[in-house]
Homo-oligomer: A and B are copies of this chain.
């Protein structure tokens, strides 16, 4: 959707990703996507994204980019090996020298000491900075970032950020160090507001059919969708007033499907809900193989509400660990609402948890039958109020199927908590 600018000048921002593996296709370029999304939240836009292999190609590409754009965000090539030459290339393009940064060197030594590992000479170059540039601290790796303000070496009048490649290093550095500087460069404190509403259980086409036209009538409101597996994020950008209008319209349509309004993911909402109500949860997973437990334990503080996870991949495990009856397994098959129900009630009884959720299905690619094709999945949820079971079909690839099923299982818990 085209941006309606509220009177501000547009900064021309370019992303330069370095990494041979990105061009070989062996690694997906997720940086470009992620940075694009983060900039949209600031009301800013990427005008071009370029990927070059490791090595000298970066110099040519950076030279072009700095003469074309106001801001260039470079990712990758800050590591210790011989093909990591982003610092050197930038020094050449901007016409400034590299010097050793004492603070960075100290941090590097500290990083290796903490991990009881020797620091090798190759790491030394990671402590180099461009003369006059800012060092951007990296708390998650050895490579600090660098910020070269406009006209550092005279020309060009372009700001350059050098950022590490690994997402776990890039993301926090972007939020802590890049965002404030971008805001200052853009000359505004906050450009509009962004609200992200997350929905589970409906698809993007539901929004198009039932809501899109009405939202488009709200003047000054920018609307964006991001559809993920089993999830749609709706992004509202504009003044507080128009965002409120947009949100009211949206809730009138889809309130029961709305999981969060602050970007929180489903597992975080579930854990927070359990904590708030002082309830505990157990999981009994067959086809998802531990994915639901894994997602729950990704949330900080999960140990207060999650005690037992059963990954009962075989029929024997279902009977032995959570008391599914052999008769039920024989009569209905492992993938049935009957077994899902017994899995949930058995997991609840064994663990003593307040709520137990179960999943059993056929992830594929093998194991489907005419009656129960690949993608068939049954759910059970057990609480003091009884047991509910569900049967659905999600004919997808093995990993997508697991993700979609885990999404549904977590949403069953969310809905149960919401009704409490």
Contact = CB atoms under 8 A, between A and B. Distances in A.
Contact of A55 (B2, B309, B365, B400): B2
A32 B366 CA distance: 31
A37 B25 contact: yes
A317 B364 CA distance: 31
The 9 lowest CB-CB distance pairs between A and B, nearest first, are: A289-B297, A309-B311, A25-B36, A290-B293, A290-B290, A25-B37, A307-B314, A1-B83, A290-B294
Interface string A135-147: 0000010000000
B25 A393 contact: no
| Most chain B CB neighbours (cut-off 10 Å) among A26, A309, A364 | A26
B301 A308 contact: no
A353 to B, nearest CB: 10
B168 A209 contact: no
A101 interface: no
Interface string A284-307: 010111111110111011110011
A337 interface: no
B40 A33 contact: no
Contacts of A49: 22-23, 29, 50-51
Contacts of A204: 79-81
A120 interface: yes
A235 B26 contact: yes
A25 B35 contact: yes
A115 B22 contact: no
Nearest to A305: B313
Given A81-B208, A308-B312, 15 more contacts: A1-B82, A22-B33, A23-B32, A25-B34, A25-B38, A26-B235, A27-B226, A48-B51, A80-B208, A116-B393, A122-B209, A290-B291, A290-B294, A298-B398, A307-B314
Contacts of A400: 140, 168
Interface residues on A, range: 35 or more
A56 B25 contact: no
Contact of A313 (B229, B306, B399): B306
**Chain A contact residues, majority secondary structure:** mixed
Nearest to A54: B1
B50 A48 contact: yes
Contacts of A212: 81-82
Nearest to A224: B20
12 contacts: A24-B40, A25-B33, A25-B34, A26-B225, A26-B226, A29-B49, A47-B53, A122-B208, A288-B294, A290-B311, A294-B294, A308-B312
Given A48-B52, A49-B50, A308 B313 contact: yes
A310 interface: yes
Nearest to A61: B48
Nearest to A46: B23
Contacts of A19: 226
A307 to B, nearest CB: 4
Contacts of A57: 47-48
Interface in A59-92: 61, 64, 79-83
A120 B26 contact: no
Nearest to A280: B314
A290 B300 contact: no
Interface string A234-246: 0100000000000
